[in-house]
Amino acid sequence: MASNTDFDLFTTSEEHEELRAMLREVVADKIAPAAAEVDEQGVFPQVAYDALRQVDLQAPHVAEEYDGVGLDALGTCIVIEEVARGCASSSLIPAVNKLGSMPVILAGSEEVRRRYLPPMARGEAMFSYGLSEREAGSDTAGMRTRARREGDDWILNGTKAWITNAGVSEFYTVLAVSDPDGRRGANVTAFVVEKGDEGFGFSEPERKLGIKGSPTRELHLDNVRIGDDRRVGEVGDGLKIALRTLDHTRITIGAQAVGIAQGALDAAVAYVKERKQFGKAIAEFQGMQFMLADMAMELEVARQMVYVAAAKSERGDADLPFFGAAAKCFASDMAMKVTTDAVQALGGAGYTKDFPVERMMRDAKITQIYEGTNQVQRLVMARQLLKG
């Protein structure tokens, strides 16, 4: 689906739009109706996972040679966007499957790829990403988790924090310091840890503001022994692989933000056309029209930024780090503003759980934080500019 023409950066193919139309039906029928209950009860959206598996879109980025459907980066973004439009928690299923498995795709041996990508592509397992720690969030090189070589095995010890879908996923890409005396940033190695590995466990789920249907837990590694055949990439290349991963996957957070904002705008437009004050629908007031116009304008700018970044991801363009960071940063800031304005448009009703916009506002906030805070995204962009 990818194209090298500048014009096609700003269009979607017929296949992309057919994908979108099909997903709209799936989301409307299966995913969106369960979103409020998922949020209220804080439970994993199993109905959404099952619905996505039925159409082979729980991990749409996986190539056909590994039993996947082989969607390009833009197609994967459209999947995440459309699911997020109905339920942000559910959109983290395809998004985090890509995040967790991208190191394997980028740097894993063929043996590792054959072992772990097909089960995820078939909907038999999910994949999470273990990079952050309590004292090593933005400062990833400051991680304390250790991997010690012992013969043909590695012994992993440490704790990873804020891990999305932890406890539900079967597979985890975990980054650990493999050479404590080595050069900072060049002493980290990536591994695949399996849920059933001895010594591997989870904390209780975090109590969160939003995305409550996506469990967030710590990973606890207590002398977890794994073979060298589960190493991803070369020894010492872990952080390089992790940062390359984020160049590709932070675009999916931009797509999630666009979807959340679109859902909020849809709800706001529907409400203001029905709500009456002073004898007429509040949609007829110019102040409301200006608010809606600004919401839609900023949403469309963000969508185009995400789609352009996705095209660059597909081609592996050299300027992907800038465009990926820009798309994620702008789209998530936009989503926070649009969802807040949607609550405002609904007035007192928007502040209640009877309408979805308060949930969408809470869900939008995390898009400014995970996969690199927006302050870090601005650092990434500035460094790219200064490098010329």
pLDDT at 131 over 50: yes
**So which residues are the catalytic ones?**
371
Please tell me whether the overall predicted TM-score, pTM, comes out greater than 0.85 for this model.
Answer: yes
pLDDT at 382 over 70: yes
Distance, CA of 142 to chain centre: 23
Closest CA to 175 of 139, 213, 123: 139
CATH of domain 7-121: 1.10.540.10
- Encoded amino acid at 172, one letter: Y
pLDDT tens-digit series, residues 326-368: 999 999 999 999 999 999 999 999 999 999 999 999 999 999 9
Q: Which residues contact 199 (CB under 8 A, 6 or more apart)?
A: 221, 222, 223, 224, 225
Q: Which residue has the tokens 């991963």?
A: 245
Burial of residue 133, with CB atoms counted within 10 A of its CB: 0-12 exposed, 13-18 middle, 19 or more buried: buried
CATH of domain 240-387: 1.20.140.10
The per-residue pLDDT for 10 is 60
pLDDT tens-digit series, residues 285-335: 999 999 999 999 999 999 999 999 999 999 999 999 999 999 999 999 999
More confident residue, 244 or 4: 244
pLDDT tens-digit series, residues 206-225: 999 999 999 999 999 999 99
The per-residue pLDDT for 11 is 76
The per-residue pLDDT for 227 is 98
- Evaluate whether 162 touches 206 at the Cβ level (below 8 Å): yes
CA dihedral 37, 41, 42, 47 (to 10 degrees): -40
The per-residue pLDDT for 128 is 98
Domain extents for the chain? 7-121, 127-236, 240-387
- Evaluate whether 173 touches 191 at the Cβ level (below 8 Å): yes
CA distance 172 to 223: 16
CATH of domain 127-236: 2.40.110.10
Closest CA to 325 of 385, 367, 379: 379
pLDDT at 170 over 80: yes
pLDDT at 281 over 80: yes
